[in-house]
A and B are shown apart, each in its own frame.
Chain A
Amino acid sequence: MIGVKKLIVQVNGRDLALTNLNKLYWPDDGLHKRDLINYYTGMAPYLLPHLRDRPFTLVRYPEGIAGEFFYQKECPEHAPDWVQRIPVSVDGGDKRINFVLCNDLPTLVWLANLGCVEVHTWASRIGNLENPDFAVFDLDPAPPATFQDALEVALLIRGVLAEFGLMGCPKTSGATGFHINVPLKPVYSFEQVRLAVQYVARLLVRVYPQRCTVERAVSKRQGKVYIDYLQNGRAKTMAFVYSLRPRPGAPVSTPVTWQEVENGLDPVSFNIRSVPKRVALLGDLYAPLREESSQELDAILKLC
């Protein structure tokens, strides 16, 4: 295959032209575009149920992670006919954007071939587009606070959620941060979800101001873990579960168990090579987020 510029493959009956497979994507790790496509192809059984019916934002790195990248919400014009699209108004106005829905393997492979290193989607699915089916706690340690500090805050958030009868699913961000996704019954507005997450975040800041902050000014976060509740918004997207990250070592945003969080973990160890083996062994730790949840936010919203 060396030197082949273009490779026509058939994926589930769809013809796809894969291009520049030998282009270096992670130059320091010797990982090529074909490794990117291989990863998403192998992870498809775990990833697709999560992606189903969510407006997809393309984050494209046509020249690899060292090159320029761009966000693309509108489905590219040259997309094959069989790529599903959904017209959505991002700001609630008349203007609609045709988002891609990544509901099958050919679409996922096609997106990978476009250089989509990262997977970004909405927190809601068509049918309930205005009602997210999960809430996000996005924890970002600001130096000298460390990843370990983010884990500590994550454990406290787990405890607070349990107080309200809620269960959250932890995952690495693939970078320096940590995420907790809380599966929700899709009946709340983005605003309500944000309010609930904001309530928990402020509760933590009040009790543990030494380590927690909701301060928007980066300069004021120093040494603390920033609890970003604003990620809970309409059309907000962030690195999705099992998304590769454009960072050295090709890390993956990886679901972990709370036991692993308690024991401490190294986010770099979850990467393009290790995660496929890990999910083969452990299955999809994010299974609770695949199907519609019955978890409700009423207990928190009463206090907001």
Chain B
Amino acid sequence: MFKTVIVFAGVMERPLIEKEGVERMRTIWKGAISFGLVNVPVKLYTATETNDIKFNFLHAKCKTPIKYEKRCPVCDVVVPAEEIVRGYEYEKGRYVVLDEADFAEIEIEQTRSVDIIDFVDLAEIDPIYYVKTYFLAPGDGGQKAYALLRQAMQDSGKIAIAKVVIRSKQHLAAVRVYQNCLVMETMYFPAEIRSPAVLPELDYEVKLSENELRMAVELIENLAAEFDPGKYTDDYRQALLAIIEAKIAGKEVEAVPARPEAGKVIDLMEALRASINRAHQEKGLQPEVADGSEGGMAAEANPNVRAARPDPEARPRRRRATGE
């Protein structure tokens, strides 16, 4: 039923960035925070990572990683990266093509700066707006301005709302202080946020008794706790890792053809035998049976010969030897 199987091929535990220092993180953007006449040079780093376990899709039959190809169905060729352009479908089946220069033009106008528009209270922003968090590290020569902005924001308790262009897209963003660092949360524009009013399931009314409500509130208060992020772990991920580790320990691992286990050699050997048998059948021949009567081989003196000698014992012995 399934055409593909999924096999774990990643590192078991990816070390967190702190371990080897910030230099391991890649700067994804260099620019400046600008507000009023002040410019604070900053570098942008991704602040979060997804700890998903990485799987590769393999062809179930031979366990080879599936190859993804960008094909043109009309020319019937694999299209190399340099021949791929971006097209905007302005009406069905009709595209206007934008090249790198077109994108670069827009970027030059607005880019490389986090333009602060307002300072607001953090609590006013609903989390639904947040997309992704970036660290803003001080850029070259900007240490003092950076420290000044950070301190001022801390003292005022305000966070900044800004606009920024990252990778050809303008984002709304919130800049705030996190520990000793300025961070930027990219945010959806209000137009990008849907209203729950469109959910038909919510279109009803019900009368709640005071008693029921009081009990529910009490229950919540009983479960109330301080937010302790260390408490929460990814149970699904850990269960999956346990399965993976058990399979590796039990050798129930799908070997990649690049480095097949001994078992793989045997599988291939079976396939080769089957192929030889088919060839015999096609020619209407009986498969040859090795008679082990090779003469003049100096077999006793030569482990080479013994190991490869095609006597009837040879096959099971070979299997044991390679299966260890």
Residue positions of A touching B, CB distance < 8 A:
148-149, 152, 155-156, 158-170, 203-204, 206-208, 210-211, 223, 255, 257-259, 262, 283, 285-288, 291-295, 299, 302-303
CB-based contact A155/B303 at 8 Å: no
One of A288, A291, A293 near B304 (C-beta < 8 A): A288
What's the least CB distance linking B59 to chain A, in Å? 10
Contacts of A162 in B (CB 8 A): 290, 308, 310, 314-315, 318
Q: Is the CB of B285 within 8 A of A302?
A: yes
Q: Is the CB of A257 within 8 A of B307?
A: yes
CA distance A168 to B296 in the complex (A): 14
Partner of A303, one of B273, B279, B310: B279
B295 interfacial by beta-carbon distance below 8 Å: yes
Q: Contact: B275 with A295, CB < 8 Å?
A: no
Structural contact, B283 and A207, CB atoms closer than 8 A: no
- Judge whether B205 is part of the interface by a CB distance below 8 angstroms: no
Is B200 engaged at the interface, CB distance under 8 Å to the other chain?
A: no
B298 touches A203 (CB 8 A): no
Instruction: Please report B residues at the A interface, Cβ cutoff 8 Å.
Output: 62, 64, 257-260, 262, 265, 268-269, 271-273, 275-276, 279-280, 283, 285, 287-292, 294-298, 301-305, 307-310, 314-315, 318, 321-322
Q: Is the CB of A291 within 8 A of B257?
A: no
Lowest 9 A-B CB distances belong to which pairs? A165-B290, A258-B307, A299-B288, A210-B257, A162-B310, A167-B308, A207-B271, A159-B269, A287-B298
The answer on a CB contact under 8 Å between A288 and B305 is yes
Q: How far is the CA of A204 from the CA of B258 in the complex (A)?
A: 15
How far is the CB of A133 from the nearest CB of chain B, in Å? Answer: 12
User: A165 and B288: CB pair below 8 A?
Assistant: yes
Q: Chain A contacts of B318 at CB under 8 A?
A: 159, 162
Cα A149 to Cα B260 in complex, Å, equals 9
Known contacts A210-B62, A210-B257, A258-B304; A295 and B272 CB within 8 A of each other: no
B274 to chain A, nearest CB (A): 8
How distant is A31 from chain B, measured CB to nearest CB, in Å? 29
- Asked whether B280 lies within 8 Å of A203 as measured between CB atoms, the reply is no
Q: Contacts A163-B276, A165-B290, A283-B301: A208 and B308 contacting too (C-beta < 8 A)?
A: no
| Contact, CB under 8 Å: A294 / B294 | yes
Cα(A49)–Cα(B301), bound, Å: 17
B residues near A283, Cβ cutoff 8 Å? 301-302
With both chains docked as a complex, state the minimum distance between the C-beta of B62 and any C-beta of chain A, in angstroms: 7
Number of CB contacts from chain A to chain B under 8 A: 118
Measured between alpha carbons, how far is A188 from B185 in the docked complex, in Å? 77
**Alpha-carbon gap, A259 to B304, bound state (A):** 8
**Chain B: CB-nearest residue to A183:** B297
Return chain B residues, CB-CB under 8 Å to A208: 257, 268, 271
Q: Report the separation of the CA atoms of residues A291 and B229 in the bound assembly, to the nearest whole angstrom.
A: 77
Please state if B308 and A303 are interface contacts (CB–CB under 8 Å): no
* Residue from the set A149, A152, A203, A211 with the largest chain B CB neighbour count within 10 Å: A152
Q: How far is the CA of A211 from the CA of B63 in the complex (A)?
A: 13
Q: Report how far A281 CA is from B321 CA in the complex, Å.
A: 24
> In angstroms, how far is the closest chain B Cβ from the Cβ of A11?
28
Q: How far is the CA of A208 from the CA of B275 in the complex (A)?
A: 11
User: Please, which residues of chain A bring their CB within 8 A of the CB of B276?
Assistant: 160, 163-164, 203, 303
Distance in angstroms between the alpha carbons of A262 and B275 in the assembled complex = 23
Q: A262-B321, A303-B280 are in contact. Are A287 and B307 (CB under 8 A)?
A: no
Whether B257 lies near A159 (C-beta < 8 A) is: no
Given known A159-B269, A210-B64, A287-B301, contact A294–B275 (CB-CB < 8 A): no
Partner of B265, one of A155, A257, A294: A155
Known: A159-B272, A204-B272, A303-B279. A167 touches B309 (CB 8 A): yes
The answer to whether A291 and B271 touch (CB under 8 A), given A158-B308, A163-B276, A210-B62, is: no
Shortest C-beta distance, B282 to chain A (Å), equals 9
Interface residue from B62, B291, B304 paired with A257 (Cβ < 8 Å): B304
* CB closest chain-A residue, reference B308: A167
The answer to whether A285 touches B296 (Cβ under 8 A) is no
* Bound CA span A262–B317, Å: 13
Cβ of A155: which chain B residues have Cβ within 8 Å of it? 265, 322
Please name all residues of chain A whose beta carbon is closer than 8 Å to the beta carbon of B315 when the two chains form the complex: 162
Nearest B residue to A166 via CB reads: B310
Smallest distance from the beta carbon of B30 to chain A beta carbons, Å?
A: 35
Measured CB to CB, the closest approach of chain B to A242, in angstroms, equals 15
B297's partner among A167, A210, A257, A262 (CB-CB below 8 A) is A167
B303 touches A259 (CB 8 A): yes
B283 touches A302 (CB 8 A): yes
Neighbouring A residues of B283 by C-beta, 8 Å: 302-303
Distance in angstroms between the alpha carbons of A208 and B309 in the assembled complex: 24
Known contacts A159-B269, A164-B288, A295-B294; is A206 also within 8 Å of B302 by CB? no
Q: What are 20 A-to-B residue pairs whose CB atoms are below 8 Å?
A: A159-B265, A159-B318, A161-B310, A162-B315, A165-B289, A169-B308, A203-B279, A257-B304, A258-B304, A258-B308, A259-B307, A262-B321, A283-B302, A285-B303, A287-B301, A288-B297, A288-B298, A288-B305, A294-B295, A295-B294
In chain A, what residue has the closest Cβ to B64? A210
For A149, the closest partner residue in chain B by CB is: B258
